[in-house]
A and B are shown apart, each in its own frame.
Chain A
Amino acid sequence: MTKQSTDRKPASPGKKRLKLVLITFGVVVGAFAVLYLLTENQHTAPFVYAIF
C-alpha cells in the first residue's frame, strides 16, 4: 500500500493573482451596488444639494 499524501500544492502565482483581481473587482462593484440599491427611489429626500 502506498501512503496517500495530504499535502496541498501551493497555489501558483497566476491563481493567486486571479483571486486578488476577482476579490478587488467584487469589493468595488459590490460596494457601489449596495450604495445604489440603498439610495434608489428615495422620494422622501428633501431638495438638498451638496453642490452647485
Chain B
Amino acid sequence: MRAFLLNLLWVVVTLLLAVLAMEGVCRLIYSYKLDYQIEMSRYAAKLKRTSEHWGIGHEHRPSSSAHLMGVDVSINSHGFRDPEYPIEKPAGEYRVMLLGDSLTLGWGAAAEDIFATRLQEALARVIAACGAGRSVRVINTGVGNYNTDQEVSFFEARGRAFDPDLVILNYFINDAEPTPRQKLPFLLQYTYLGMSIWGRIDLFRRLYLSGEDFSNYYPALYRDDQEGWRQTRDALGRLARLADEDGFLLFMALLPELHAVGPEYGFREIDDRVSRAAREAGIRHLVRLAPLFAEEQPESLWVSMDDAHPNAKAHEIIARGIFDALVREGVTACDEAVH
C-alpha cells in the first residue's frame, strides 16, 4: 500500500512537471508565432465580460486594451474600439453606427486600417465640403463572436441612445449561429497550455469527428429548422421596425467569407438567401461585397494563414464598397448628410 501511494505521488509530481514544461514551451512558441485560438482566448479573457442584458450575451470591458493578433486593441469607455466621444450627439454631427462582429471590430488589423476608420475618413472628406460646422462620427460597435441577434439586442438596449442617423448592419455568414453562452473556464484564462488544449480539442472534434470545415459548416446554419437562423430573421425585422420608429437610415452590408472569394463566390446562394430575408424584414438598402473580391486571391486577404479575418487590404475593399453604396443611395449628398 505504501509503495502504491509513493508511486502515485511520483505520477502526480511528474504530471505537474510535464504541465509546467509544456506551459513554458507554449509561451515560447506563441511569443514568436501568432495562434488564432490562443489570441481569441486572450481576447475573451482580457477584453470581454458577461453583459447584464441576456440578449447581448457578452460585451467589451469599458476602457480596456490588449495587444492581440499582433495589433493593439483599445476599447473606449462605451465598450467600442473607438476614440472617446459623448453619448449625446453634438449639433451638426452626422452619426453612422456600425453593428457587427469581429470583422467589424477589425480583428487582427491595426485601427488605422479597418473599414470603420477608412469610412470615417472618406465620409469626413465629403461632409467637410458641405460647409463649416458639419462633421461625421462613425461609431464602431463591433464585438467578436456577436451574431445578428446580439447586435440588434445591443442596439435596442444601448445603441439607440447614441441617436445615429445611419445604421449599417455588417452581416457575416456565421451570424446565423446561436448566441454563444459558454465562457472560458477561469483557470484556462491564465495558462497558454490550457487555452491551447481547449481550442485544439474543439478544432480536433470539428475536423476529425464531425468532418466540419467552412464549406459544409456555414450552409448547415441556414436550414429552416435552425434556431439561430430563425432568430437572425427575427432580429432583422426588429431592426427594420426601429429604423421606421426612430427615423434613421438602415443599410445592410453582406461581408464575404474570405476562403470562398474569387470569380465565382462560393456562398452566393447563402447571400441570396440572406438578401431575401432582409428584404422581407423591410431592409431596403443592401450591399453585397463579395463581387468586389472577384479578382483577389483568398490568402492575400487574410490576417494570417490560419485566420481568414480581413487584413488591411480586405478592409480597404470593404470600406470602398460600403462608401460607394452610400454615394449611390445619396447618403453623402449635403442635404441628406446633415439633418
Residues on A lying within 8 angstroms of B by beta carbon are 13, 16-17, 20-21, 24-25, 28-29, 32, 35-36, 38-39, 41-52
Contacts and interface: CB of A to CB of B under 8 A. Distances in A.
A39 B200 contact: yes
A25 B14 contact: yes
Contact of B213 (A35, A44, A51): A44
B204 interface: yes
Nearest to B172: A47
B11 A20 contact: yes
Interface stretch (B157-165, B178-186, B274-282): B178-186
A19 to B, nearest CB: 10
Closest 10 CB pairs of A and B: A46-B217, A46-B214, A28-B18, A44-B213, A51-B184, A24-B14, A50-B202, A39-B200, A52-B58, A39-B203
Contacts of A24: 10-11, 14-15, 18
A5 B212 CA distance: 61
Given A20-B11, A47-B309, A48-B174, 20 more contacts: A17-B10, A21-B10, A24-B10, A24-B14, A24-B15, A25-B17, A25-B18, A28-B14, A32-B22, A39-B200, A39-B204, A48-B202, A49-B144, A49-B145, A49-B180, A50-B199, A51-B44, A51-B180, A52-B182, A52-B184
B48 interface: yes
A37 B207 CA distance: 13
Nearest to A35: B200
Contact of B207 (A17, A45, A49): A45
The CB with the most chain B CB atoms within 10 A, among A21, A36, A42, A45, is that of A45
Given A29-B22, A43-B305, A45-B207, A51 B14 contact: no
A4 B220 CA distance: 73
B234 to A, nearest CB: 21
17 contacts: A20-B11, A24-B10, A24-B11, A28-B22, A32-B193, A35-B204, A38-B208, A39-B203, A42-B207, A43-B259, A45-B212, A45-B306, A47-B174, A48-B206, A50-B182, A51-B41, A52-B145
Contacts of B184: 51-52
Nearest to B102: A47
Given A39-B200, A39-B204, A51-B182, A46 B22 contact: no
A29 B180 contact: no
